[in-house]
Structure 1
Amino acid sequence: MIYLDYQATTPLAPEAFDAMVPWLRDQFANPHSPSRPGRAARAAIEVAREQVAALLPPGGRVVFTSGATEALNWALKGSTGSIVTIASEHAAVLDTVRAEQAGGREATVLPVRPDGRLDLWVAHRVLGQGAGLLAAMLVNNEIGVVQPLPELVRAAKRHGTIVLCDAVQGYGRVPIPAECDLVAISAHKVHGPKGIGALWIRDGVSLEPLLHGGDQEGGRSGTLSPALCVGFGVAARLMAERREADAAHVGRLWDMAAERLAGWTLNGSATDRYHGNINIRRGGLDVNRLMSDCRDVAFSAGSACASGSGRTSHVLKAIGLLDADARASVRLGFGRYTTEAELREGLDKITAAANAQAVPA
């Protein structure tokens, strides 16, 4: 199987797996217990917390969660005041905002341009009317576009708005503005295990708890898994150590993909983007047939979180694509463990299958 679906999830780093095994097999103590093995487990979690925090702004704390969805829900539901967000945000943000609106909370969803980036002038105008929280994604999970977050954060700060950054796809890859107040991240998007994420909370920012029943994390309740925390920590450490090497490798893969997919149309900005994500379309393409014909290549027809829903991607609709073009789009993701030979073979298979559709029966 050729794996080209890195935005859905990344392969677990072997180093993270090896670090997790003892905590799964032998060291099973509850990290919130005062017993000796419990204290050892807690110490391992604190090391992991420092490793995760090393890639985040200073002046805050890392609170482990079950994943980014919980972290985003907590940040949105635990804050006060009206919300401003962007039409291309992840469903974990947009659906939560809709739920908050249903409860009477005011919210504004900013449109994006055809390149997937928001208009800063519009954002300035809306933020100038007053808002409690701005929720903005660093790197879009479907089209890889990088929002002008530094400028957006500065605008929010001028108006006293706290900023929630969804850094799930950008953590360790794209700089996170130091002025952010809340940052949501996920381990399995950076070669860590599934089932754990974190919310970074700036000192002085308070949130109402989302979960009650123990307050093990100082605002977040629930027994932590030492194995998952340790795996996340090692994955974060590797992201820091391999940042330059990973970026250079992804750059080479992007150049290869751009060359071999010359007949396709790129969705989103060609310049303001993370190069490990390429979302492309081809007129009249039957994506379901394409995926069936390429069973040995893993890729996505839009966001993995929406697959199977039958709905057209809200991100592709937000950038102005008609349903026909959105449904003729595929997303390819690659990274650290993708070889050039694998990518070349995968792209050739996808292109050949797409070309076969254009040949009259």
Structure 2
Amino acid sequence: MSNPSASPVSYHATAQRPGWAALPAAVRAALSARLGAPVVQARVATAGFTRGFAAVLRTADGGSAFVKAAARAEQPHLVDWYAREAAILTRLPAGLPVPRLRWTLWEAGWYALCLDPVDGHTPRLPWDPTELDATLAGFVDIAAALAEPPTELADLGLPRLADLAREDILWWGEVAAGREAAPPLPAPVAGRLAELVALESKLPGYAAEATGLTHGDLRVDNVLIGADATAWFCDWTWLCHGPAWFDLAGLLITGYAGGLDVDTRFAAHPAAADAPADALDVTLAALAGYHLTAAASPPPTASAQLPAHQRWTGEQALAWLARRQAWT
């Protein structure tokens, strides 16, 4: 158990997105035409850390859809991410708690994808234990379905977590080598750099042993709790070859911050059944280093809330790891 630590970020209001009226007239017209009726209301999504358009659109005939869109000229990375997500969504196994892709559209230099809307909300922090357990139950189905990925998904050439770890996630080694500035560390961890390097360095090897796929970005703002208490899993851009326990650990960091018994939840989850004994500690070390160093240099296209999210997430990962390692 931990002492609850309130997040400085409201995950219901992290996004900075353009409204419907800010889209070019040609794009609005094309979207309305594809939806089959004029758009009469746009409820912009307030969660997330990108600046792309994302909203539930309601049409004059009573229909609704969730639409994400970005301009190639201003946000080429987002266009690439949305196109990748569309390709993944069309190939995910049927029956999962994932919003269904309806269609994609190119118009006036903008790329859009349309999904079924989910009548739900971003999980509240601190976690309601019932909502967290519903999310963990839904992730059982996700992990099981991706343990042996369909051929059409594997043929997409998805990245490997082992490579992503070496290229972008592992930073304690860079800090130890003097190539990256050391982030502020609390007293129990300040003298533990060698241990942090040793732990995070195991991640690529562990990840390389996995034969399945995992979401790759399972954060609280990528989950929606539906009106029937079902958990829905969103934002599939970062699907990768890797172990599901990596995502499980990342999700549970926010549960640790809320004072819940996340150690037991991790150990009991089917996604962790075949995890190495120190997989949780290895993941916490890696994610702590990633978030704390990334907080110092956020991309200019991200929400202004991103650094606070990364700093707090890194701090909670370190606190959880320090307790597990009995670092005092």
Higher RCO (C-alpha under 8 Å, 6+ residues apart): 1
What's the TM-score bracket when you normalise by the shorter of the two chains? under 0.3
TM-score (norm 1): 0.24
TM-score (norm 2): 0.25
